[in-house]
Amino acid sequence: MLIPLSWLKDFVEIKLSLKDLMWKMTEAGLTCESYKKVGDEIVLDVEVTANRPDWMSIIGVAREVAAIQGIKLKTRKENALPKKSANFPIDLIPDFNLFDRWTGIAIKNVEIKPSPKWLADRIRLMGHTPINNVIDITNYVMYELGIPMHAFDYDEIAGQIMTVQLSKGGEDFTSVDNLSYKLPKDAIIIRDAERLIDLAGIKGGLNSGIKETTKNVFLHVTIDNSVLVRRTSIALGLRSEASAIYERVPDKGGTINSIKRAASLILDLTGGQVASDLIDLRKEKFEPWEITLTEEKLEKVLGIKIETKLVVNILSKLNLNPRKTSKGIACTIPTYRGDLKIEEDLIEEVARIYGYNKFPMTLPTGRITKNKIPYYFDDSIHLALKEILIGAGYTEAMTLSLISKDIIEKFGLNPSDHVKIENPVSLDYEYMRTTLIPSLLAALKLNTEEKLKIFEIDKVYPSENYKLTVVTKGVDFREFKGLVDLIFEKLNINNYKIEFETNKSYMHQSVAGIIKMGETLIGEFGALSPRVLNNFEIKNKVYCLEFDIKALEKHTRVKIFESVPLVPPQIEDLTLVFPAKTKIGEVVGLIKSVSRLINKVELKDIYQDSYTFNIWYQGKTNLTDPEVKEIREKILKLIEQKFGGIIKE
Amino acid sequence: MQEEIINIKNEAMAQIMGASDVSELEQLKINYLGRNGKINSLIKKLKDVPVDERKQVGITLNLAKQTINKLVNDKHQELIKSLTEKREWFDLTIPGVKPERGHYHPLTTVLKEVKTIFNHLGYQIADGPEIETDYYNFEALNIPKDHPSRDTQMTFYVDDKEKHILRTQTSAMQGRVMKDMKPPFRVLAPGRNFRYEQVDASHGFEFWQVEGFVVDENIHLTDLFGTIDYVLKELFGSDVKLRFATTNFPFVEPGVDTYMRCTICGGKGCSFCKNSGWSEIMPAGMIHPNVLKTAGIDTKRWNGFAFAIGLSRIVNLRYQIKDLRTLTTPDMRILSQF
């Protein structure tokens, strides 16, 4: 909302410097962070929150500025409207579900012409082009007093009858600025005896609008159903100043005042005369209401005791007419303060005018519960995994959850297995990912270095399970597998099974598999399918893994310390030859299982079909050669039996 | 034999005197005085010496051994002394070979700090769904359908029968936690949010927030101010300047907005703070009684406060990142800076 300072000064004196004024307004909730200069004029730009329709007007802002400064509004003498000099019939057929209030008056013999300079200037300051005196006056009074109004060409209202009703949907409507619309269902419209003449709360119709030839005017101020106006304006993509005010529900008690102001300006500037009674159809009386503020509650919520005198003073600056009663401080809420409904609302009024920045600061002194909250989240495994990966040279990325259909298809997945967004910002972000791998593949494109080691821990959808996903390039299989080994070692997960089959079509047919703990699937690891790589035009060899964090968390165990042996181990290398397709990982497991005296086995070297294992024999006392020999022979026997591996000659 | 002893002794002395480092000296000691050293081999030959000469030769040999031993010890001391005192030019500026190590994402780093701060204040961490219902995202927060404040939270709708949405605010966790838990509680709910916004430097449709809320018997506005002040000073240092302003969110009353003196320009005005010198950083307020009532909490007894921290914004302010998209781009030129 734009607020020209000179217009504001019509209603309130300004004592603060511009900078202080802007901050004080902001502190009080009327955010004002910028202004512009137009000639000699300063125009403030204020952000009006959804609860304050009154701030959508110069008078409303002036009331606030007066309260902030602790001064009264300037009084303006309102002349009573002259008696009607004719009796133009007009029949308004209300529907109080659509209009809470409908106030109107007819004016005859107007001369439509350009507005005088002062009026035209102010319309321009509000960012609009002046049109003619009557239309400019309706806009002017809306800006000034905060309730939208509309002027019709009286002679174009067929049958002098106006019925407010809901649209059926599909009606054609041409607005006063000559644009055509197909109306949605349940828009509030006004019909005369023959035609649709107004899209209420949003725009007037061309057919009944003010023209240069207009002689007689019907002027009305309505309080429209806020929900319906909002729905219609969203459906049509037509957000006007009027609709922004109606959505906030303007002052239901203020229609008479607005129409009198506009009518007297019209009489002054067009030479017209009043031609009807002031019509006022209303659902109820719309009178001020009472709220009582108790000082106990005020102190409980604010945490400080504000003197009664000061509380009363603040409330009275806000025109809330505070009175001490046996129950507390009773306030009478003016109709323009529809946002004040409950005691807490009054507490905010006191606090904000008192000044938020005058409050002391404390920390809550309450109990701390020992119960776990719902949705309690222990992220220690997330942090542990990040620590492991970063220590191993992998870099953490965070990527978007929304991906395109194209990416899903290139990845060999089916879009229909993904959560779809009904209103995506673009087709690039239409689906929610079921794997993080494609998002990290983007990293391969962005990074031209030979080697890339990147990971992400994030949710997949719709399960919202967290996954650990790693993508590498320029890393050989054993180095990549070393990361898998490291993760399991650091989480102290033993006895996991590697299976050579994965049902993930984006993984490589041979160089990929799954890891399971019992029946729990931990996840996939290995190379990506050549087809997927080709689809993404990636030429590097890519290894990746995706593990389910919950599954890892379920099986991780605290490491139990083993005491350090007092005697040195005996260490030897054994080189064996194996037939093709031997699972060397299982050979290592077998060697370890042969004796409790074997405390470490490592694959030291591979040459063609021969594998060298580095074996540590460790007893509580020094092992003798015959003892080691016995274990060694058992190893060799079992390896030959189970894997057909024999010692290399 | 006598002559041989003298020769060996002389040879040893010459070599020991000429030793240039400790390890060479150690080797010489072994060569002469070791079990198979030259002196020992002479001792072994002693039995071949005629008996009448044997005593004299023995004395000579023993003297030689002592001399060599003393010389070795002296030389050792000397070498250590000279090594200790010697100054030679050495290039300390030569670049090292860095151990390979990855990089934490800045969101992780900052979130970890935020969690630690709130753990100190007795908050527990909650993690809830991003695919949310309209009820928890809006209605439970006193934002009925068709409320104009929904304008600032344009929503993504999921194409499903249940009419799910993607949550626009982590505040959605308020209703979820309150429904299932009796006060008192202190909750911190970090996470990703989605808003329908065209992507540009200052708008992303995915962003991270941390929601916090406290419900207890006697929670005051001053507690909220104090908590915000404590947290932002922990995060940005004790010299941050804060100021509070009134604002309106339907789920708080009174509503609070927090402005922090721009950490980038120090308040002079820059593109980060839109030249105002102040940066809006932590919207908050006392929880609206309607929110508590909706969750079945007795507002006569309990009240509370709630706040939101824009995690993406804090990361951007701390590292002076101007383009929001930076955080979600997996580019090593970005990630390796953190």
Q: Over the stretch A506-516, which tens digit does the pLDDT of each residue have?
A: 999 999 999 99
The CATH superfamily label for domain A570-647 reads Ferrodoxin-fold anticodon-binding domain (3.30.70.380)
Q: Domain A290-357 falls in which CATH fold?
A: Phenylalanyl-tRNA Synthetase; Chain B, domain 1 (3.30.56)
State both tokens at B45: 């030959």
Provide the token pair at A217: 């005017």
- Residues of chain B with pLDDT > 90, as a percent, come to 64
Contact of A359 with chain B, judged by CB distance below 8 Å, is answered with: yes
Top pLDDT among B220 and B85 is at B220
Task: Name the A residues in 579-598 with CB < 8 Å from any B CB.
Answer: none
pLDDT value, residue B42: 85
Average pLDDT over residues A329-333: 98
Q: How far apart are CA A427 and CA A420, in angstroms?
A: 11
Are B220 and A31 in contact (CB < 8 Å)? no
Task: Tell me the average pLDDT of chain A.
Answer: 95
Q: Residue A495 half-sphere exposure, CB side, CA atoms within 13 Å?
A: 8
Q: Is A616 a residue whose pLDDT tops 80?
A: yes
Q: Could B254 and A344 be called an inter-chain contact, meaning their C-beta atoms sit closer than 8 Å?
A: yes
Banded pLDDT at B260 (limits 50, 70, 90): very high
Q: Where does A413-501 have alpha helices with state H?
A: 437-446, 477-490
B65-73 mean pLDDT: 92
Min Cα separation A596/chain B (Å)? 35
Q: Do B130 and A464 touch (CB under 8 A)?
A: yes
Alpha-carbon gap, residue B324 to B198, rounded angstroms: 12
User: Which residues, 6 or more positions from A124, have their beta carbon under 8 angstroms from its beta carbon?
Assistant: A130
> Taking 80 as the threshold, does the pLDDT of residue B152 lie above it?
no
Name the 3-class secondary structure at A404.
coil
Task: Determine the Cα–Cα distance for residues A318 and A372; give it in Å rounded to an integer.
Answer: 45
The predicted pLDDT at position B263 comes to 81
Considering CB atoms only, which of A372, A399, A402 is closest to B330?
A399
Which pLDDT band holds residue A445 (cuts at 50, 70, 90)? confident
Question: Which CATH class name applies to A91-282?
Answer: alpha beta
Give the model confidence (pLDDT) of A205-236 as tens digits.
999 999 999 999 999 999 999 999 999 999 99
Residue with the bigger pLDDT between A525 and B269: it is A525
pLDDT (tens digit per residue) in A473-491: 999 999 999 999 999 999 9
pLDDT at residue number A100: 97
A422 to B254: CB separation less than 8 angstroms, yes or no: no
pLDDT in the model for residue A626: 93
Distance between CA atoms of residues B175 and B173, nearest Å: 6
| pLDDT tens digits, one per residue of A246-268 | 999 999 999 999 999 999 999 99
Chain B residues inside the 8 Å CB shell of A348: 246, 253-255
For residue B231, the chain A residue with the least C-alpha distance is A363
Chain A residue numbers with beta carbons less than 8 Å from the beta carbon of B108 are 386, 396, 398
Q: Residue A469 and residue A459: Cα distance in Å, rounded?
A: 10
Gap from B102 CA to chain A (nearest CA, Å): 4
Among A524, A488, A484, A517, residue whose Cα is nearest residue A503: A524
Query: Cβ contacts of residue A268 below 8 Å, gap of 6+?
Result: none
- Distance (Å) from the alpha carbon of A108 to chain B's nearest alpha carbon: 38
Predicted confidence (pLDDT) per residue in A298-310, tens digit? 999 999 999 999 9
Question: Smallest Cα–Cα separation from A271: which of A133, A393, A385, A478?
Answer: A133
From chain B, the residues in CB contact with A55 under 8 A are none
Is the CB of A440 inside 8 Å of chain B's CB atoms? yes
Which residues does A600 contact at the CB level (< 8 Å), separation at least 6? Answer: A569, A614, A615, A616, A618
Taking the CA of residue A227 and the nearest CA in chain B, the distance in Å comes to: 6
Q: What is the pLDDT of residue B39?
A: 87
Residue type, B150: R
Q: What is the 3-state secondary structure (H, E, C) of chain B?
A: CHHHHHHHHHHHHHHHHHCCCHHHHHHHHHHHHCCCCHHHHHHHHHHHCCHHHHHHHHHHHHHHHHHHHHHHHHHHHHHHHHHHHCCCCCCCCCCCCCCCCCCCCHHHHHHHHHHHHHHHCCCEEECCCCEECHHHHCHHHCCCCCCHHHHHHCCCEECCCCCCEECCCCCHHHHHHHHHCCCCEEEEEEEEEECCCCCECCECCEEEEEEEEEEECCCCHHHHHHHHHHHHHHHHCCCCCEEEEECCCCCEEEEEEEEEECCCCCCCCCCCCCCCCEEECCCEEEECHHHHHHCCCCCCCCEEEEEEEEHHHHHHHHHCCCCHHHHHCCCHHHHCCC
From A209's Cα to the closest Cα of chain B, the distance in A is 29
Q: Is the dihedral of CA A280, A284, A285, A291 positive or negative?
A: negative
Instruction: Reply yes or no on whether the pLDDT at A468 is more than 90.
Output: yes
| Backbone torsions φ then ψ of A395, nearest 5 degrees | -105, 140
CATH fold of A2-69 = Phenylalanyl-tRNA Synthetase; Chain B, domain 1 (3.30.56)
**Which pLDDT score, from 0 to 100, does residue B150 have?**
82
Mean pLDDT of A554-575: 92
Average pLDDT over residues A466-471: 98
B282 pLDDT tier (thresholds 50, 70, 90): very high
Render pLDDT for B224-240 as a digit per residue (tens, 0 to 9). 999 999 999 999 999 99
Q: Three-state SS for A334?
A: coil
Residue spans in chain A of domains classed CATH 3.30.70.380? 570-647
Nearest by CB to residue B101, choosing from A368, A391, A401, is: A391
B189 contacts in chain A (CB < 8 Å): 375
Q: Which residues of A touch B163 (CB under 8 A)?
A: none
Average pLDDT of the segment spanning B21-29: 91
Residue B307's closest CA among B204, B217, B232, B206? B232
Looking at residue B321, its pLDDT comes to 87
**pLDDT of the residue at B154:** 87
pLDDT band at B54 (very low <50, low <70, confident <90, very high): confident
CB burial readout A185-212, b (16+ within 10 A) else e: ebbbbbbbeeebbbbbbbbbbbbbbbee
- Cβ distance A235 to A247 under 8 Å? no
Which residues of chain B neighbour A379 with C-beta distances below 8 Å? 115, 125, 127
* Average pLDDT of span B310-320: 89
Q: Is the dihedral of CA B15, B19, B23, B29 positive or negative?
A: positive
pLDDT averaged over every residue in chain B? 92
| Nearest Cβ partner for A366 among B108, B184, B286 | B184
H-run or E-run covering A432: strand A431-432
Q: How far is A77 from chain B (nearest CA, A)?
A: 33
Residue A3 has pLDDT above 80, yes or no: yes
- Is residue B184 scored above 90 in pLDDT? yes
Per-residue confidence (pLDDT) for residue A437, from 0 to 100: 97
Interface touch A464/B129, C-beta < 8 Å: yes
Give the torsion sign (CA, A597, A603, A604, A605).
positive
Interface test with B, best of A51, A240, A302, A447 (most B CBs within 10 A): A51
Options 3.30.930.10, 3.30.70.890, 3.30.1300.10, 3.40.50.2300; CATH of A380-555: 3.30.930.10
Please say if the pLDDT value at position A453 is more than 80. yes
Q: Does B5 or A421 have the greater pLDDT score?
A: A421
ipTM (interface pTM): 0.90
pLDDT 10s digits, A267-300: 999 999 999 999 999 999 999 999 999 999 999 9
pLDDT band at residue B203 under the 50/70/90 scheme: confident
Tokens 């060694």 — which residue? A632
**Cα A212 vs. chain centroid, distance in angstroms?**
47
Instruction: Indicate the pLDDT class of residue B43, thresholds 50, 70 and 90.
Output: confident
| Alpha carbons B195 and B209: distance in angstroms, whole number | 12
The answer to whether A31 contacts chain B (CB < 8 Å) is: yes
Question: CB of A238 within 8 Å of any CB in chain B?
Answer: no
User: Mean pLDDT, to the nearest integer, of A144-154?
Assistant: 97
Average pLDDT over residues A491-496: 92
Cβ neighbours of B335 in A, within 8 Å: 395-397, 454
Of the spans A441-450, B113-122, B270-279, B311-320, which averages the highest pLDDT? B113-122
> Which amino acid is it at B231?
V
Place of tokens 């209420």: A200
The rounded distance, in Å, linking the Cα atoms of A172 and B158 is 32
Chain segment A381-424, per-residue pLDDT in tens = 999 999 999 999 999 999 999 999 999 999 999 999 999 999 99
Task: Specify the domain boundaries for CATH 3.30.930.10 within chain A.
Answer: 380-555
Q: How many CB atoms lie within 10 A of CB A504?
A: 19
CB-CB neighbors (< 8 A) of A442 in chain B: 330
Q: Do A361 and B226 touch (CB under 8 A)?
A: yes
Query: Which residue intervals of chain A bear CATH 3.30.56.10?
Result: 2-69, 290-357
Q: Stretch A173-199: mean pLDDT, rounded? A: 95
State the DSSP code for A357.
G
Q: Please, where in chain A does CATH 3.50.40.10 lie?
A: 91-282
Handedness of CA A41, A47, A50, A52 (dihedral sign): negative
* B214 touches B174 (CB < 8 A): no
| B76-83: average pLDDT | 90
When pLDDT is cut at 50, 70 and 90, the band that residue B51 belongs to is confident
- Contact list in B for residue A28 (CB cut-off 8 A) is 245-246
User: Residue written as tokens 């709910």?
Assistant: B189
CB contact under 8 A, B303 and A440: no
Residue of chain B minimizing CA distance to A300: B220
Answer whether residue B200 shows pLDDT above 80. Answer: no
Cα nearest neighbour of B289 on chain A? A344
Cβ–Cβ gap A344/B328 under 8 Å: no
DSSP A421: B
Contacts of B220 in chain A (CB under 8 A): 300-304, 362, 364
At residue A170, the 3 state secondary structure works out as coil
Least CB-CB distance to A373: which of B126, B157, B198? B126
pLDDT at B279: 86
Can you tell me the mean pLDDT for A118-142? 96
Is A363 in Cβ contact with B196 (below 8 Å)? no
Least confident of A256-260, A274-278, A583-587, B324-328: B324-328
Q: How confident is the model at residue B87 (pLDDT cuts 50, 70, 90)?
A: confident
